[in-house]
Amino acid sequence: DAKTTQPNSMESNEEEPVHLPCNHSTISGTDYIHWYRQLPSQGPEYVIHGLTSNVNNRMASLAIAEDRKSSTLILHRATLRDAAVYYCIHRREYGNKLVFGAGTILRVKS
Amino acid sequence: NAGVMQNPRHLVRRRGQEARLRCSPMKGHSHVYWYRQLPEEGLKFMVYLQKENIIDESGMPKERFSAEFPKEGPSILRIQQVVRGDSAAYFCASSLPPGQGHNEKLFFGSGTQLSVL
């Protein structure tokens, strides 16, 4: 899995939207973009994934740039429970394992 | 449907002892992954197993570490002759068998915190 670049940390106010960026300039055409998060003292948790089109689920939205070299995870209304490390990963088609980078530490202020 | 179960939650060993970490995947999942997270560091892939078969062990240290996923029972990560540097959180994940594109979600357990005295 190729390397992604994320900010080390970000801060948000509770009840406000959060946009977490990720650069993946070396992504190939068949790599999927996955987001996982890790809450304190817990294992990682799947958030969302996509290939080319924007994706929405109950947790978040994923906006993928047209050239696929970057993506943004959107939490529509941050809560204190969203404070976690967020990992952006691009995963080869037919590659099951995930290779985690350093991720972005998201702090949510009340 | 219970999630991925790891036990023990905390494990304390003295240097030179053996550590055995267990992982029961989610029901219906035949693929298991082990990751290690050292203090203040990221998650590092160790090994990927299918029942009775190691698929990818590229992240496993060459010595003292072994993993298995038998036909019956949990997956076991075994560390022989533990050293202080083995102190870390060990996470297990499971997934469904690969489908088209092999992009199944991984479901993680809560981890085993290994402390070596």
Between the CA of residue A60 and those of A46, A48, A66, A72, A103, what are the distances in Å? 11, 7, 19, 10, 17
Residue in chain A lying closest to B43 (CA): A100
**DSSP structural state of residue A5:** B
**pLDDT of B84 higher than 70:** yes
In angstroms, the separation between the Cα of residue B111 and the nearest Cα of chain A is 6
- Among B56, B104, B108, select the one facing A44 at the smallest CB separation: B108
pLDDT of B39 reads 84
**Chain B touched by A97 (CB under 8 Å):** yes
Please name which of B5, B1, B23, B33 lies closest in space to residue B98, comparing C-alpha atoms. B33
Banded model confidence at residue B19, pLDDT cuts 50, 70, 90: very high
Between the CA of residue B52 and those of A19, B24, B29, B91, B104, what are the distances in Å? 42, 14, 13, 20, 20
Please name which of B76, B62, B93 lies closest in space to residue B8, comparing C-alpha atoms. B76
pLDDT of A91 reads 81
Banded model confidence at residue B1, pLDDT cuts 50, 70, 90: low
Q: Express each pLDDT in B29-82 by its tens digit.
A: 889 999 999 988 889 999 999 999 999 999 999 999 999 999 999 999 999 999
Residue linked to tokens 């670049």: A5
For residue B93, list chain A residues with Cβ-Cβ distance below 8 A.
43-44
Residue linked to tokens 């080869």: A92
Interface-testing mutation among A92, A97, A100, A104, with chain B (most B C-beta atoms within 10 A) = A97
pLDDT of A1 reads 52
Please name which of B68, B89, B117, B66 lies closest in space to residue B6, comparing C-alpha atoms. B89
User: Which residues are CB-contacts of B72 (< 8 A; sequence separation ≥ 6)?
Assistant: none
Euclidean distance between CA atoms A31 and A94, whole angstroms: 9
Question: Which percentage of chain B shows pLDDT scores above 90?
Answer: 82
Which tokens is A86 given?
A: 């967020």
Banded model confidence at residue B97, pLDDT cuts 50, 70, 90: confident
Q: What is the mean pLDDT of each run of 10 residues along chain A (110 residues)?
A: 86 96 88 93 94 92 94 96 94 77 95
Banded model confidence at residue B100, pLDDT cuts 50, 70, 90: low
Q: Using the beta-carbon criterion (under 8 Å), do B106 and A44 form an inter-chain contact? A: yes
